[in-house]
Structure 1
C-alpha cells in the first residue's frame, strides 16, 4: 500500500496517546492525594502549568539566543524558515511541537479559564493576578498563531447577549470589567503595532475584514484550498492511510481532511462519537462550575480548531482534554459514591 509508512507512523501516534492518558492518570492521582478532588483547584493547577509555558515564551522574546537554539535543534523541517519569515514576521516562541496550532490553542484555552477567574474573583489582588495571567496568555497566542484567540473571542462575543437577558447590577459590573479589559489590551497592543511580533496579528484583522466583505484572503483562502477529499467513495469511507499534512504536493492542515485520508470517514465518525460520549463527565462538570457561556466557548473552540489543525494525537490541546476528562470521571465517580 502506498500509505503503509504513514499508517505505521499513525499507529505509533495512537500508542503515544495511550501513554499520555496514563500520564494523566498519574498526575490526577498525585493531585488527589495532595488537594483532594477539587475541580476549581485543578483548573488553577492547569493555569499555572500554562504560566510555565509563558515563562519560556517570555524567555524566547527577551533572550533571542534561546529561541534560536530551540529552532535550530528542533526536528521539524523548515521550522526556522517559517518562524523567521520576512512576509509573516516572527513567530514560534516557547517550547512546543506545534507552534502554529496546538501551543497557541492551549494558551487560548488557558486564557479562557483565567478570564473566568478574573470575572468571579472578588478580591482585588486576585482580580489583578488573573488579569495579568489572561493578558500573558493572549500575548503568547499572538506571538505564535491567531487560532488561539478563538476561545476568548467566542466568550467575549457571547457574553453581551447573555447580559441582555440578565440585566442585573452584577451583570452591568461585569460588562464594565470586560470593556476595561478590551481597552487595556488595545492600549497595550497599540505600542507594538509596528513590531515584527504582531505582523500576523495585524494581517489577521485585515483578513477578517476582507472575509466580512465577501472575499477570502490569507489564511481563509489557504483553508479553502485545503478543503478536499479522496475521489473514490471507498477511499473516502475507509481512508487511504495517507498523510496529507506538511510539505506534500497537495497538503492540508484541516483535521477532518487529514483524518479522512488517514482513517476514512467511518473511523473519524466512530472516534468523534466515542470522544463526545466520553466527554459527558467533563461537560457536566464544566457547566456546573463555569456556566453555559464558558462551556459553549470551550466546546465550540475545539470544533473550530478541528477545522484548522486538531487531530487525534498527543499534543498540548488533546493532552489538556484527556487530563481534564480523567479528572472529571473520577471526580463525578467520587461524588456519586459520597451521595450513596
Structure 2
C-alpha cells in the first residue's frame, strides 16, 4: 500500500482539516462534505486521515470489525461466540466508494466461490461492512447514482445494513462517518443526502503567492521521496494523534451550559434552518471542538468557529438574497455572537 501524504503537512485549508479532525473526535457529529475546486487537497486530506487515526480494538477475525467492548452492537457471529472472541488492534478503516460501484459491491452479496465449489449459501460482505466503525469516502459524491444515494441514506440513518436477496437474509452493523467531496460545477447534491452530512466545508484555490509556493514545494518533496517526507512529518502527525486521543477521553466531561444551547438555537432560528438537526450538530461539533482545545465548557467562541461548517448547507434558498449561504451564516454570527 502506498504511503499517504501526512495530514499535518497539508498547507492551509484550515476549515476542512478542522471538520475532519472533529469527526474523528466525535463520529456522532455526522459526515463531512467538502466542496470546492479541483486540486485543492480534498481527497489528500481524507486519505491522510487513515494514517493519522489511532488504532481501534476489534474482534479478531470478524469481517465487520466489531467492538469487543460493546456487546449490544456486535454482529450475530460475534454475539454467538461471545465467550471465545479475542480482541486485537486494527487500523481505523477509511474505505473508498467508487462512483462505478455496483449495489452488490456496496452492500454485499452471495459468495459465488463458496456457492459453486461447496454448494454453500454464504454472504460476502461489501464496502459498508468494511467501513463499519470507520470512514466511508465518496469522491465526486454529487455524481453518485441515485439508487446508491438512497441506499446510503437508509444505512446512515439506521446504522445497520440489511441484505435480503438470492436466498440470503443478513443483517449487520454499519456505522460509519460518511465523507464526501466534489466540485459544485459538476452538479448539486440531492437534499436528502446533503442533510446527512453533519459538517460542510468549502475549499478554494489559494490566491496568495507564499501559500501556493509552499503547497508545490511540499507535494514535490513528497513525490520525490515519500518515505523521507513522511518520516520528516511523523512527529507532527504523532502529536495530532495524541491530541485526538486526549480529546476523545475529555469529551464526555465537557459541559454545554444552557446559555450555549440558547445561542445555538437563536442562530438556527435567525437563519431559518429546517428541523432541529442544525442545533444538534452545532452543539455536538462545538463540544468536540472544546474537547480538542482542552476546554471544560462550550462557549460562544466555539460556536463561532464551527457554526459555518455546521449550518451553511442547511439554509433555504432566498430569492431576495443573492449572497451565498456562507455569507448569510457569517452575518448571523456577527449579529448574535460578536467576537
Tell me the TM-score range normalised by the shorter chain. Answer: under 0.3
TM-score w.r.t. length of structure 2: 0.27
Q: Which structure shows the higher helix fraction?
A: 1
TM-score w.r.t. length of structure 1: 0.27
